[in-house]
Amino acid sequence: MSINNNIESQMRKGVLEFCILSILGDDQAYASDIIKQLKDAKLIVVEGTLYPLLTRMKNSGLLSYHWEESTQGPPRKYYSITKDGQKFHKQLSETWENMVSSVNTITNKNSDNV
Amino acid sequence: MYKTISINISGIIFNVNEDAYEILKNYLDELHSHFSKTDEGKEVYADIESRIAEIFSEIITINNQVITIKDVNNLIETLGKPEDFFEEEIHEEDTYKKYKKNTKKKRLYRDTKDNMIAGVSSGLSYYFGIERVIFRIIFILLFAFGGSGLWIYIILWIAIPEARTRSQKLEMKGEPINISNIEENIKNEYEKVKKNIKNKNIEKEVKNFFEKIVHVITTVIKGIFKAFGKLIGLFFVIFGVAILSVIVGSYIFDNTLIQINDYGITTFSFTEALKLFTSSSNINYLIFSLLIIITIPILGVLYAGIKLLLNIKTSNRIIPLIGFIIWIFGIVIFTASSIDIGKNFTRGKSIETKTILKNNSDTIHFAKNSVTDSINGKNIIFSNDDDDFLITNNSVYISPSFSIIDSDSDSIIVKIKRKARGNNKNNAKQNLEKIIYNWNFNNDTLNFDSHLLINNEYRGQEIKIKIYKPKNITITGIDYDDFY
């Protein structure tokens, strides 16, 4: 494992939770729906990595879920955002905007120099 | 034509081709061994299984009823290889440190690819870097002498997990354990404990002084256990093997126990001795239950010792539970057998005989006829200080109690009261008749056996002898130790 890989995946992982909270901000969703949106956005490559993350977020009180019967296959877990999750999402949005503008400032300044 | 295997994922049945099954099984095993360590992980694993069931359900149509190798490969591509999962987790913590540590760590597994029975010896040989033949010989020798090898092998079989996945096989073959590794291990644990205590002090979790002390103590104890766990484990194992060998050995040699008495070191048969107190079928229950009661905790100690010694991390709750149930079962049988023995002593019966002696002389001699002289000292299991209660391997000898009472009658009267107990009146009477005791009066001499003798069944038999003597007659030869 190279150090480049590590930093990249760290960055991706950092925003992953933010994105999940954003997806669930509008409506409840089934794990596969969340996965599909993240995949389309090229934030994740494989599905497997998301299951531990969802469980961890649920256990820390950001998400909750309920079971729903499915016509195809076993019952599905539908995730929705909790009050705590909403608060945290708001906080993350601010942090994200600040960070984007900070990073933009620095990268723009430096690219001007080049 | 293909052979298919029927599997159940998340409650749904799928038919899978044999080759596809192998791949799927390896994949799930690897995920399971990774996730099943924590409750959170178990939930994740269940989610993944349920997703697999869903993906497979989408594949199945009326024309296509079977999961093929292609389907499984697609599935793995969608969900991600085990490495993809774990990589994510490694990033969680101090990446490089943990990576380094993981590759270094060696775990004990059973090697089921190169096995005679369950791959225990083969796994041990990887762990210690010693030829596997040596372990096999050790097991066979331990089995031949005392039989403990069998027990140890079975415990190891239960305690050591099988190396199933690729990463487990790598862990099995990792760097051999040697002194410098152990030293490093101890150092690491020491550092960890130090860091842990410091961290906790900074955090405000520790609320007061008392909690702080408890925390420090538990952290230190945990550290000691981790660092010296191998030594403690080794002690447990040696202790367990020693006791087991004694138990199994003595059971094999007809329950013979060794005792040390005045006659030097002697042996006696435990079952023979018990026959004095209860029926032989009850003895079997008693010995069997006693064996369970003693052996199971020792097996437990051995199990814990082996786990500590070889750093095995399994949380098998079923085996200890089964052990505990068997142990309780043993206690129940033991209690029932003990009560059965006790029942033999519930009812008492006594008979008194009265004999009037005809004598002409006014001096009578009192003499005791020793019946214990002929006993071979080596057969004595128990005797008290005065030898008035003596148990040999098949008999009980008890001194009667004597008393001399002045009376107004003209002649000497001897009253002998025999007592015995049993589980009912009739049985008590039978037991009473089993007392062997002789006395006679000859040539102005009273001859009494020194002990009453009971062969086979001791049921609290005793004899009280009262000698009523007229005032004008003297009795000589009395050892006042015999009277009260």
Nearest CA in chain A to B8: A74
Q: Is the pLDDT of residue B100 over 50?
A: no
Residues of B in contact with A32 (CB under 8 A): 51, 54
Q: Residue B331: which pLDDT band, with cuts at 50, 70 and 90?
A: very high
Q: What integer is the mean pLDDT of B291-317?
A: 80
Cβ contact, residue pair B91, A6, below 8 Å? yes
| Band of pLDDT at residue B95, cut at 50, 70 and 90 | very low
Check residue B463 and give its pLDDT.
Answer: 92
Q: List residues bridging with B256 in a β-sheet.
A: B269
Token pair of B20 as six digits: 């596809």
| B47: nearest CA partner in chain A | A51
Residues of B with CB under 8 A from a CB of A: 10-12, 35, 40-41, 43-44, 47-48, 50-51, 53-54, 56-58, 77-81, 84-85, 87-91, 95, 99
pLDDT in tens, B368-393: 888 888 777 777 777 777 778 888 87
Range with lowest mean pLDDT among B13-22, B339-348, B356-365: B356-365
Contact status, residue B54 vs residue A72, Cβ threshold 8 Å: yes
Q: CA B482 from chain center: how many Å? A: 46
Is pLDDT of B104 > 60? Answer: no
Residue B99, pLDDT > 50, answer: no
The pLDDT assigned to B470 comes to: 87
Query: What is the reported pLDDT for B208?
Result: 67
Look at A73 and B50 and tell me if their CB atoms are within 8 Å.
yes
- Please list the alpha-helical segments (H only) found in B160-208: 166-173, 179-202
Lowest-pLDDT choice from A36-40, B128-132, B179-183? B179-183
CATH fold group of domain A3-112: Arc Repressor Mutant, subunit A (1.10.10)
CB neighbour list of residue B174: distance below 8 Å, 6 or more residues apart = B103, B104, B105, B106, B107
- B476 burial level (CB within 10 Å; 0-12, 13-18, 19+): exposed
Q: Please enumerate in sequence order all residues whose Cβ is within 8 A of that of A5, keeping only pairs 6 or more positions apart, or say none.
A: none
**Range among A42-56, B110-124, B314-328, B429-443 with highest mean pLDDT value:** B429-443
The reply to whether residue A10 touches residue B91, judged by beta carbons under 8 angstroms, is: yes
- On the 0-12 / 13-18 / 19+ scale of CB atoms within 10 A, B288 is middle
Cβ B181 vs Cβ B104: under 8 Å: no
Measured in angstroms, the CA of A94 and the nearest CA of chain B are apart by 24
**Cβ–Cβ contact A60 with B under 8 A:** no
Q: CB neighbours of B304 closer than 8 A, spacing ≥ 6?
A: B233, B236
For the stretch B205-230, pLDDT in tens is 555 677 777 777 877 777 777 667 77
**What average pLDDT does chain B have?**
79
Edge-first strand listing for the sheet containing B474-476: B439-442, B445-449, B363-369, B474-476
| Residue written as token pair 């004999």 | B355
Q: Which residues contact A63 (CB under 8 A, 6 or more apart)?
A: A20, A24, A54, A57, A79, A80, A81, A82, A85
How many angstroms separate the CA atoms of B470 and B356, rounded?
A: 12
H-state helical runs in B93-178: 95-104, 120-128, 132-144, 148-159, 166-173
For residue B242, what pLDDT is reported?
82
Confidence (pLDDT) at B102:
44
For every residue of B247-266, DSSP letters joined together read HHHHHHTTTEEEEEETTEEE
Residue scoring higher pLDDT (B288 or A72): B288
B180 contact partners, CB below 8 Å, separation of at least 6: none
Q: Tell whether ipTM is more than 0.90.
A: no
Cα(B407)–Cα(B170) distance, rounded to whole angstroms?
97
The answer to whether B41 contacts A52, with C-beta atoms less than 8 Å apart, is yes
A96: Cβ–Cβ under 8 A, 6 or more apart, which residues? A15, A18
pLDDT band at B328 (very low <50, low <70, confident <90, very high): very high
Residue identified by tokens 């085996």 is B319
pLDDT band, residue B136 (cuts 50/70/90)? confident
Burial of B449 (0-12, 13-18, 19+ CB in 10 A): buried
Contacts of A55 in chain B (CB under 8 A): 40, 43-44, 47
